Structure 1
Amino acid sequence: MKKLIWVLALMPACGALAADKQLSEQEMHQLAAKTEVWQPVPAVVSAAEGAVPSDAIALLGADLSQWQSAKGGKADWSLQDGVLQVKPGSGDIETKQGFCDVQLHVEWKVDSDRMDKEGQGRNNSGIFLQSMYEIQVLDSYNNPTYPNGQAGSVYKQTIPLVNATRPAGQWQQYDIIYKAPRFDGDKRLSPGYVTVLHNGVLVQNHTEIAGTTEWIGPPQVKAHGCLPLKLQDHGDKVSFRNIWLRKLN
């Protein structure tokens, strides 16, 4: 009995010795190879600093051929030297092409000619993902308004984490990662989600989009497929430049 107890006492030490056994270099490479995944190989994308990624769609060129009026017909905003400006009263414009999941880059600027206004009246516009879900564009620098309607908000739904707005006259930028809602017929299987960086600062972190961004009333859930990117004419001369996106589906 004493001998058996002595043998059992030695067993943990023997196990530790086995665990401490030095593996050969070949054995280590064989073990490492078991967790290596070789397919698929990611496509090579040129992404120089400040340049449009090589697999992106540049939505502003020498003309507005990729855009149209949201009411139908020609886009009637001005485009000069790569800068697109809202023509107040002409209506919203949208891309001719529809999109679902995207990485979107937009630069925008408000001028100081509306500094006599306040709240929602100070240089208002919007970027509508799939024509339905608005990321607010507004001069929110020293300009109090309802927080779920300030720059960087999912309009009337989600307040931005912080206010990263620069003063009027300076270019701002949004980098947006958007996952579109999924539908099976009229049934929504999953909502949309959006992540927004405003001037490099995270303001929406994988935020669930409840539905359409309504000015009056609660969000609505409407089944749809891929739809255009839309820019809003809210009566102010907001400017845009360097708009590009990458399809993520």
Structure 2
Amino acid sequence: MKMKLSGIGLFCVVLFCSLESAAQKKAGFHTVSLNNLGEFDPATSNWKLAKSVFFSPDTDEKRFEPGVGIVLALPVKPDTGHLFTRMQHGDIELEFDFAVAKQSNSGVYLQGRYEVQIFDSWGVATPAFYDCGGIYQRWNESRVSKKGFEGKVPAQNACKAPGTWQHFKIVFQSPRFDKKGQKTANAKFIKVQLNDVVIHENVEVTGPTRSAAFEDERPTGPLMFQGDHGPVAIRNIRYTLLQQK
């Protein structure tokens, strides 16, 4: 039996499909539990679980309350290891909150290879690739000059004061390979938002950035949070693994 849809009926169908699609996308997100470190590889002692953290915006003062919900890096040599997820990802949409101590430095590496910088860049008028939200440069020790190359400056400085919770949203496309394992397309940051400001769109990365955990390139790899440069707190990590087009 054929049925004609009125304007209202058609609107309801479109609305239902939109809501269904949104629900499917929402259901696809996985929230990383920070009740323990079970979703990560074994961590060095510089990584701790906390209920709350405090970083002074003006001094080196920092403190935390042990508990759950926040993972905190307090690097002290020789314990300066990084934090790796057990999850391996290709294309991914990632979100998390972070807070840094004054003048602190960290980063999130997609697939453990391609870094988006986490840094105290509060008040920087003209940001560089190493400022917060920058896509870090690559490095080649064998180059005669300009051993550091590429890197991408954020479109603007969207960084908040140290000690303030901030938010990253990153859509990343993994490098592509043919059946013989030869790379056919570079990794790409489709979009990076810092505190709801779009700071990158469609930025290709030709290889692993400096201080990556792995120097090769593969279809998948873990998320890595850098833990050797300074205090950083991370919470509300969630992601969805995207299907390759």
Answer yes or no: same fold by TM over 0.5.
Answer: yes
Q: How does 1:23-172 map to 2 (within 5 A)?
A: 43=21, 45=23, 53-68=26-41, 73-76=42-45, 77-81=47-51, 82-88=69-75, 89-111=79-101, 114=102, 122-143=103-124, 147-156=128-137, 157-172=151-166
After superposition, give the CA deviation of every residue in 1:70-108 in whole Å (9 maximum; x if it has no partner): xxx445311122111113033101001201101100110
Q: How does 1:186-205 map to 2 (within 5 A)?
A: 186-194=181-189, 195-205=191-201
The unaligned stretches of length 5 or more in structure 1 are: 1-25, 30-35, 48-52, 115-121
Instruction: Give SS of 1:239's match.
Output: strand
1:61 counterpart letter in structure 2: L
Q: Structure 1 residues 44 and 149, CA, compared in 2 at 3 Å: closer, same or farther?
A: closer
Answer yes or no: is the 8 Å Cα contact 2:166–2:195 preserved in 1.
yes
Answer yes or no: is the 8 Å Cα contact 1:60–1:241 preserved in 2.
no
Q: Distance in 1 between matches of 2:183 and 2:94?
A: 24
Provide the TM-score with structure 2 as the length reference.
0.71
- The structure number with the bigger radius of gyration is 1
The residue that corresponds to 1:6 in the other structure is: none
Q: Distance in 2 between matches of 1:199 and 1:161?
A: 13
The residue that corresponds to 1:240 in the other structure is: 234
Would you say how many aligned residue pairs link Structure 1 and Structure 2? 194
Q: Structure 1 residues 155 and 132, CA, compared in 2 at 3 Å: closer, same or farther?
A: same
Q: What's the offset of the Cα at 1:193?
A: 1.3
- The CA RMSD measured in Å over matched residues stands at 3.0
Answer yes or no: is the 8 Å Cα contact 1:183–1:223 preserved in 2.
no
Q: What's the offset of the Cα at 1:186?
A: 4.1
The residue that corresponds to 1:15 in the other structure is: none
Answer yes or no: is the 8 Å Cα contact 2:86–2:222 preserved in 1.
yes
Q: Distance in 1 between matches of 2:88 and 2:118?
A: 21
Instruction: Give SS of 1:177's match.
Output: strand
Of 204, 207, 227, the match for 2:203: 207
Q: Distance in 2 between matches of 1:110 and 1:102?
A: 24
Q: Distance in 1 between matches of 2:133 and 2:236?
A: 18
2:89 counterpart letter in structure 1: F
Q: Structure 1 residues 63 and 205, CA, compared in 2 at 3 Å: closer, same or farther?
A: same
Q: Structure 1 residues 214 and 186, CA, compared in 2 at 3 Å: closer, same or farther?
A: farther
Identity value in percent: 25
1:84 counterpart letter in structure 2: V
The unaligned stretches of length 5 or more in structure 2 are: 8-13, 52-68, 138-150
Q: Distance in 2 between matches of 1:188 and 1:246?
A: 24
Answer yes or no: is the 8 Å Cα contact 2:49–2:71 preserved in 1.
yes
Q: Distance in 1 between matches of 2:89 and 2:211?
A: 24
Provide the TM-score with structure 1 as the length reference.
0.69
Q: Distance in 2 between matches of 1:63 and 1:45?
A: 28
Q: What's the offset of the Cα at 1:138?
A: 0.2
Instruction: Give SS of 1:45's match.
Output: helix
Spell out structure 1 runs of 4+ moving beyond 2 A: 41-44, 73-76, 142-146, 220-223
Q: Distance in 1 between matches of 2:127 and 2:23?
A: 40
More strand by share: 2
Answer yes or no: is the 8 Å Cα contact 2:113–2:215 preserved in 1.
no
Q: What's the offset of the Cα at 1:235?
A: 2.9
